[in-house]
Amino acid sequence: MGVRHGADTRRYVAGADDLLAGRSFRGAGGWLYIGYNALLAAARALATGDVGVIAIQVAAAAVAAVAVYELGRRLAGPAAGTLAAALVIADVDIARWHAYVLTDSLYISLVAITTWLAERAVGGRPRAYGVAVAVALCAALIRPNGWVMLPVVVVYWIARAPLGTRTKYALAGGVVLASAAAVLVGRQVTFAWDPAAVAGNPELVPFSWILSFRNAWSPGRMLSRVVSNLLHTRPRYSTTHNAAVLVLITLTYALAVLGFVRTHAKALAALMAAVIVVHQIVVALTFADPDGRYLLYVFPLFLVLAAVGALSLRRKHDFGLSFRDA
């Protein structure tokens, strides 16, 4: 494919230029994407340019494949991990973003890596927790969506900690309330997706945080955004394309639900489900991207659960034993 630019690439290039010039960001997205702007600035300072950025994205995708393998292995053994990693690597819809100078490739990788590191840190040394937090912060600095990973990871650690039930609820509730307050006080500019425009050419409509309470939180609109995001079909796709997407998505979701049912007693399954859910909440309150990228952020986790579900069909008789052993 070669190195490709998207509509938002100009925003990140402008942010990188501002950093290199030592001036304040001229664009509204300067601080929202500070991590990616800094990456582009570093690539330009080192004279590697866009090729260097793409190389980092491909390297991160390779690490993410390892993370997906580890998630599958921890859930249901090496076979599940191998199948999950193979599915993620073979997913053309995910792989194509690695060639774009956009935040999406790195964010897809960082979500999977953060989820793995959060699970891996439980019961480990403080350094393991620090590494997981550092990677979660990287995800947050790459895209504003990434801030949802921090409270999810912290609440997960609280749930896994050797604390009393009341203490856990109190701490987890405090984290959730603090996160909600941070969102409201931040008053960041967001975007709304008009579901009525799905049949035509949808547009991203900017509005302030105050207007978002009126426009974005309509139950019908919130549901429409999430459904549009999860279906992954788009009006600009051909009928054949949309039909193929629906078949593959339906199969993936069915197997993922089966995989979750088989492993719901495991804390890791709950963590993965929580990561998926909070990203859908972001979509519900903002917009469903016209390129379908917001689903891809958590699709590797769907594929892990789908791999577990697929193997449960093959190992019908010894599944329970294999999961206890895993």
Kindly state whether residue 192 falls inside one of the protein's structural domains: yes
To 5 degrees, how large is the angle CA 201–CA 94–CA 37? 80
Span 289-294, mean pLDDT?
A: 82
Kindly state whether residue 91 falls inside one of the protein's structural domains: yes
- pLDDT, tens only, 191-211: 333 333 333 333 333 333 333
Kindly state whether residue 269 falls inside one of the protein's structural domains: yes
Kindly state whether residue 208 falls inside one of the protein's structural domains: yes
Kindly state whether residue 3 falls inside one of the protein's structural domains: no
- pLDDT, tens only, 94-145: 999 999 999 999 999 999 999 999 999 998 899 999 999 999 999 999 998 8
Alpha helices (runs of H) in 77-103, residue ranges in sequence order: 78-90, 92-95
pLDDT score, position 319:
44
Q: How many domains does the chain have?
A: 1
Kindly state whether residue 4 falls inside one of the protein's structural domains: no
Rounded CA-CA distance 322/23 in Å is 57
Kindly state whether residue 1 falls inside one of the protein's structural domains: no
Q: Euclidean distance between the first and final Cα of the chain, in Å?
A: 40
pTM above 0.95, yes or no: no
Q: Which domain holds residue 26?
A: 9-325
Kindly state whether residue 2 falls inside one of the protein's structural domains: no
- Residue whose structure tokens are 């030592």: 22
